[in-house]
Amino acid sequence: MGVFDHAEFDDHESLHFINDAATGLRAIIAVHSTTLGPAAGGCRRWSYAGDTDALTDALRLSRGMTYKNAVAELPFGGGKAVILANDNAPKTPELLSAFGRAVNSLGGSYITAEDVGMSVDDMRHVQQHTQYVSGLPQSGGSAGGDPSPWTALGVYLGIEAAVSVRLGKDSLAGLTIAVQGVGHVGLYLCQLLHDAGAKLIVADVNRENLDAVSNAMPVEIVAPSEILFANADVLAPCALGNVLTTATIPNIKAKIVAGAANNQLSTLADGERLSAREILYAPDYVINAGGIISVSHEYYGGSSEDQVRADVAKIPARLHAIFAEANETGRPTNELADELARRLIAVGKK
């Protein structure tokens, strides 16, 4: 199967395959759209089963960034980079420098930042070779830095919105929330949820992540294979995507799915499956936009943390509008979010 016939190819503007023999860097940069601005999206470093899986991830994630940035009303298009992790190519300064040169070669059509497997310190190395990078340390109250806390805040506010609609409650106190993945974003989210009085069930494949969250607050730890089916009010997927499938949806006990992971739905039809079970789904790229909102303010400059916070606080209103339309029409929330994103992009083209 050719790239143009790939199931996730969606009129992407360009695909770039990076191979740097000296450092072992193998990466894919997918630019989905630059209609609304340069294609912005983080860089993910992951151990994929094969090149095809990496390509699928890059294509899906970059399209999701286009939709995310459009709905969040940011002056960005959508793009994504994935670095194929393997034992022969450790994450060295040299490898990160090679990635920075690859980003720079695109002349600003793609702007990178940290994502799964990458850190603020990694972006410092990348910055030495390109100006087209964000998510860098800031000082003096300026916008920017690690976007994870902002992603977590947006998800937290989105969970509050979903709870008010689906459960009719104006507080998270006493609710049980299952968090899948307690890395950077998941840990920040757990702290917010704990402070709000929620009971937490957590799972992660990384023992250090579990130790960090259990040392910080009371949590119930379950196996990764059990977390999706926990007896909880809210399920918050905050690890990798593709977790809501024909196999998992029938066994979910939560009445709400609202988390930070990208591409939570395996297929578009899985949104309908959730709706049929009366599970309220907060479209992932709507609820998890806090991080890219911070990146945007940092990249274009002249903003403060207070301005970032104000824009992240707009996420619940967008979700409420989607939830209300879903209630009126009976249509799945993911379909409505996609239509909204495409309308905004079409306006941008005009």
Active site residues: 80
122 contacts 114 by C-beta, under 8 angstroms = yes
Q: How many CB atoms lie within 10 A of CB 278?
A: 8
3-state class of 82 per DSSP? strand
Closest CA to 323 of 290, 260, 278: 278
Q: Which long-range contacts (CB under 8 A, 24 or more apart) does 194-200 make?
A: 194/218, 196/156, 196/171, 196/172, 197/171, 197/172, 197/173, 198/172, 198/173, 198/174, 199/174, 199/175, 200/176
Strands 25-33 and 77-84: antiparallel
Non-local (6+) Cβ contacts of 344 within 8 A are: 36, 70, 71, 73
Q: To which residue do tokens 């087209």 refer?
A: 132
186-221: b (≥16 Cβ within 10 Å) or e: bbbbbbbbbebebbbbbbbeeeebbebbbeeeebee
Rounded to 10°, the helix 305-312/148-166 angle is 30
Supply the DSSP symbol for 244.
B
3 state SS of 91: coil
Classified as helix, coil or strand, 168 is: coil
Query: What is the DSSP-derived secondary structure letter of residue 185?
Result: H
